[in-house]
Structure 1
């Protein structure tokens, strides 16, 4: 059995929405459905994935804009992020106007996520890691068997998340990356919220913000 995923860039911000599933049962979750929900629905059907939950890494509009309509269309619950991002979800109408997006109304998930929670689908699971800094309620989702992480806007190939938004904090973000992500292992591959995939080992050697010159192996 193995964890499968497909990344779909959505919205004008090219936000990486991830369809993640168990290849034995075809049950899965959708991480960060920021928009373009018709495109997502077509792909879910083509892949034959039975989406059981929509999972949010944080409350920014480009990651959550399509969540509520897609939740209604698929008849599934919304989980995450950590409740410290509730102020972002309650301010979605303002975010819509600021970024010129279609109006997205405020909503609350069916369940907030905490550090140490586990999301299960079929025979697979994702561990929830609370990683504040970009936003206070940001979470990362990690599958240990596949050595695969979905990190939202915490870490990028060659970069890190912005910390100049309300309640962002640069030192907190660096601590989240070095203290919570690096210990998971250099061999962990990750899907960031934007841009190409990479590995923690590669970023430890080459990322100017968080490299600590650890050898790759």
Structure 2
């Protein structure tokens, strides 16, 4: 069964998730935006075998530590969707703009497309392309664990910003309704910031996408 630990990183309190298969203890890190030493302390504490970096999208608070972590531990970088290439190319400028430590661009080992899957140990997660916040944003869904790691698509009581370059508000709403809601009301989602919630709760009460 898939297990996970969420560790808020960077000044933006971005929810980096360490996910692992409890049968093999193989693990991946979703969105290592920074504070790498803190993350690696947790990996060691949990006795995990870190195998990969998975990215939902390439904003600095989600991807800022990716190049360093990949180089340090020789890890493959999985994701996001190719639509975020320009965000990856601009990581150094993003780090300056938002006062983050310098971040190098990188080339993902594998780009992700809608309908792909990723695997860690014996746990497989489905990949859904959910553009709107960024054009290349993806979401990782474990049907077995009823968990979805949604980055900045959806929050408890909110939705992702769409005022960044190539953001699209209608596209974001469509991504949520067409690609997240079918995962089921009972699915717990881990957003890029803030507390967890369920799709059922947000579908009823979220002021941006709720339909009571």
TM-score by length of 2: 0.98
Matched, 1:178 2:186: no
C-alpha deviation, 1:145, in angstroms: 1.0
CA contact (8 A) 2:67 2:105 kept: no
1:18 matched to 2:20: no
CA RMSD of aligned residues (A): 0.7
TM-superposed deviation, 1:69: 1.1
Secondary structure at the aligned position of 1:128 is classed as strand
Q: CA deviation digits over 1:18-46, x for unaligned, max 9? A: 00001011012110000000111111000
Which residue of the partner structure matches residue 101 of structure 2?
102
| 2:191 match | 192
Q: Deviations over 1:48-91 (max 9, x none)?
A: 11111100000100000111111122221101000000000001
In structure 1, the partner of 2:45 is 46
Q: Which aligned pairs between 1:80-119 and structure 2 lie closer than 5 A?
A: 80-119=79-118
Which residue pairs with 1:65 in the alignment? 64
CA contact (8 A) 2:149 2:190 kept: yes
Q: Give how far 1:102 is off.
A: 1.2
Look up the match of 2:151: 152
CA shift, 1:106, in A, is 1.6
Contact 2:33-2:62 at 8 Å conserved across structures:
yes
- For 1:127, what is the secondary structure of its paired residue? strand
Contact 2:150 2:191 (8 Å CA) reproduced: yes
How many residues matched? 212
Moved >3 Å (runs of 4+)? none
CA distance in 1, matches of 2:49, 2:59: 26
Separation (CA, whole Å) in 1 of partners of 2:72 and 2:182: 38
SS at match of 1:110: coil
